[in-house]
Amino acid sequence: MATVGKVIKCKAAVAWEPNKPLVIEEIEVAPPQANEVRIKIVATGVCHTDLYHLFEGMHKDGFPAVLGHEGAGIVESVGPGVIEFQPGDKVIPLFIYQCRECRFCKSPKTNQCEKGWAADRYDVMASAESRFTCKGKKILQFMGTSTFSEYTVVNQMAVAKIDPTAPLDKVCLLGCGVCTGYGAAVNTAKVEPGSTCAVFGLGAVGLAAVMGCKAAGAKKIIAVDINPEKFEKAKVFGATDFLNPKDHSKPISQVLSKMTNGGVDFSLECVGNVGVMRSALESCVKGWGVSVLVGWTDLYDVATRPIQLIAGRTWKGSLFGGFKSKDGVPQMVKAYLDKKVKLDEFVTHNMTLAQVNDAIELMKHGECIRTVLSVSPQ
């Protein structure tokens, strides 16, 4: 390709500062260095974690940045030492590395990795190093991916090669939201056949958790959200019952406890709100109830009374659904192509990169499940 080894000038949505609209700019994307892959991003989802960084986390060292971390694209070129990928491969960039060599990668107990931005800069949500510049300034690569750009450069440890027949405008959702929710149910909670589950929050992650509970054989799946318009969508993914906390004067944990003879077997918090996390735990049955924190937040302490845990409940967290990234994402792409997991049903809006601020507004007001942005033509 004519661009190999050269700086590419392309369009990207730049977050110059927190709590401000993104700006479509022409940026420079440097060629990939050793062990790096330069990817033409074809499509990207807009995820709540992008909004979290922009409007809630707002870390002073996390800007300017190109947001986006739920994308899919095509390899444009590779740096020295890359043998796993070649130009033309369809890929999904990953916000969790899988180096395959560290103690975490070698353990079947976790999908964490010692490499990448999350190892020591999870608060800033970007590595100090970047291949982006704009107007003479370094632009950070959000979560190591930055999919709100026509091109991005990613370490090969954070790229998954996928089936060449996969539609990129659908499988991009496996870069974050769908794997996160689905895996939280299947891998982290380890939902059991015949069990009762409650899922708090019916955005894309929550609906994917509902889908995971169903896939695991749960008998009763209670969807909890303050927006009743989400309930019909939850039914599509397997929810059997619906609760709107606004319809009840008692705490939702008490309502669930009464509904389920003492509490659910499994609960999943897919909002990222510490109050909801407590409610989800306290909705679990004593003795064996398991509650999983899925929603991303790092602003406040989470609390409960010790007796909740002394009584036998388990409280745990899940990052990217417990999937080891390079292994898990291609498997989930195959599951989609085999019609074992749904993706199309998550997409409520299709827009272009130029409309990214409209997409952010839709999500901010709970008016979408997932908006997919078309970034570059294939």
* 213 has pLDDT over 80: yes
Name the pLDDT band for 28 (thresholds 50, 70, 90).
very high
* 119 has pLDDT over 80: no
Q: Mean pLDDT over residues 301-315, rounded?
A: 97
Name the pLDDT band for 58 (thresholds 50, 70, 90).
confident
Please give the residue that has the higher pLDDT: either 116 or 214: 214
Q: What percent of the chain has pLDDT over 70?
A: 99
Helix (H, G, I), strand (E, B) or coil at 91: strand
Helix (H, G, I), strand (E, B) or coil at 221: strand
Name the pLDDT band for 351 (thresholds 50, 70, 90).
very high
Q: What is the pLDDT of residue 63?
A: 94
Q: What is the pLDDT of residue 70?
A: 97
Q: Which pTM does this prediction carry?
A: 0.95
Q: What percent of the chain has pLDDT over 90?
A: 91
Helix 252-259 crosses helix 274-282 at what angle (to 10 degrees)? 30
* 189 has pLDDT over 80: yes
Query: Average pLDDT over the chain, rounded to whole?
Result: 96
Are the C-beta atoms of residues 176 and 67 closer than 8 Å to each other? no
Q: What is the pLDDT of residue 1?
A: 62
* 111 has pLDDT over 90: yes
12-26, 121-135, 235-249, 333-347: which range is least confident on average? 121-135
Q: What is the pLDDT of residue 328?
A: 98
Which residue type does 278 have? R
Helix (H, G, I), strand (E, B) or coil at 361: helix
Q: What is the pLDDT of residue 323?
A: 98
Q: What is the pLDDT of residue 298?
A: 87
Number of H helices, E strands in the chain: 11, 18
5 CB-near residues (< 8 Å, 6+ apart): 31, 77
**DSSP β-ladder status, 220-224 and 137-141:** unpaired
Q: Mean pLDDT over residues 315-329, rounded?
A: 98
167 CB neighbour count, 10 Å cutoff: 17
Q: Mean pLDDT over residues 241-262, rounded?
A: 97
30-44, 310-324, 362-376: which range is least confident on average? 362-376
235 CB-near residues (< 8 Å, 6+ apart): none
